[in-house]
């Protein structure tokens, strides 16, 4: 249902409206200020999928990704998985691009060179600057972890571990007989939609539209509400 026409709802009103089948306020899907708040309060403090462990299986392997609006680089160091904001500490140029295997991470703009641990190893002509200290300019770290074949990052270094947000999901999937570690990569598709992210997720998470929009899926999976259910978890 669409949101009822009213003033700015209180938290109590909002929860009540959601329980009665109304959507979030319309402005929450169109107001740029709401998007800014979502970046600040949600995406900068949450775990987000960025890639696969197979992409960083060997020391020196790396790939770049976007965690919402934040560019990140994930790398396999001698100590394990590491992830950093993919922005040089000098002139804010992108340090790495694409994916591959490198002994160091080097910015193509002024050749500032970082180790796989994110520490600045070399900066051309820095010896001419009396107060310059390489230890002051490491790449900015972000949290990184994996569940099965999937790699996640979290820009908030104080946030809880990935396991805390997965909750019961690993146990639920294990009980189904599926081992995520045995899943093989098939392909990756990317597309852009001119829609708010919440509208995309809200429609993706319900199967009310499946019989009409996905007849092939509905022919394989019983989407009758007596057999197909969605259950909320932490």
Question: Is 91 found in the same domain as 54?
Answer: yes
Mean of the per-residue pLDDT values of the chain: 92
Residue-number span of the structural domain to which 122 is assigned: 48-163
Lowest mean pLDDT among 130-134, 152-156, 198-202, 203-207: 203-207
Distance CA 2, CA 216 (A): 29
User: Is 213 exposed, middle or buried, given 0-12, 13-18 or 19+ CB atoms closer than 10 A?
Assistant: exposed
Question: Is 206 found in the same domain as 134?
Answer: no
Q: How many structural domains compose the chain? A: 2
Residue 15 lies in a domain: no
Q: What confidence tens digit (pLDDT) does each residue in 160-212 have?
A: 999 999 999 999 999 989 999 999 999 989 888 899 999 998 888 888 899 99
pLDDT at 4: 52
Residue 59 lies in a domain: yes
- Name the token pair of 74: 């994930």
Among 163, 179, 201, which residue terminates a domain?
A: 163
Reported residue count of the chain is 234
Which H or E element spans position 191? none
| Overall pTM surpassing 0.75 (yes/no) | yes
Q: What confidence tens digit (pLDDT) does each residue in 44-61 have?
A: 999 999 999 999 999 999
- State the CATH number of the domain containing residue 151: 2.102.10.10
């Amino acid at each position: 249902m669409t949101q009822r026409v009213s003033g700015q709802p209180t938290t109590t009103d909002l929860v009540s409206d959601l329980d009665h089948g109304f959507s979030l306020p319309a402005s929450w899907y169109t107001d740029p200020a709401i998007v800014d708040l979502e970046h600040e309060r949600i995406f900068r403090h949450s775990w987000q999928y960025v890639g696969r462990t197979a992409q960083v299986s060997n020391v020196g392997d790396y790939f770049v990704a976007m965690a919402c609006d934040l560019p990140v680089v994930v790398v396999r160091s001698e100590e394990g998985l590491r992830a950093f904001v993919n922005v040089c500490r000098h002139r804010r140029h992108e340090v790495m691009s694409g994916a591959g295997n490198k002994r160091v991470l080097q910015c193509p703009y002024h050749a500032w060179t970082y180790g796989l641990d994110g520490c600045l190893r070399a900066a051309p002509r820095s010896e001419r600057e009396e107060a310059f200290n390489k230890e002051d300019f490491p790449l900015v770290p972000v949290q990184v972890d994996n569940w099965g074949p999937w790699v996640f990052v979290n820009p908030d270094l104080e946030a809880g571990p990935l396991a805390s947000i997965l909750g019961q999901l690993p146990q639920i999937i294990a009980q189904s007989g599926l081992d995520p570690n045995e899943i093989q990569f098939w392909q990756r598709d990317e597309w852009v939609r001119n829609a708010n992210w919440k509208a995309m997720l809200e429609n993706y998470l319900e199967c009310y539209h499946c019989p009409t929009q996905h007849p092939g899926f509905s022919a394989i999976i019983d989407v009758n509400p007596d057999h197909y259910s969605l259950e909320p978890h932490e």
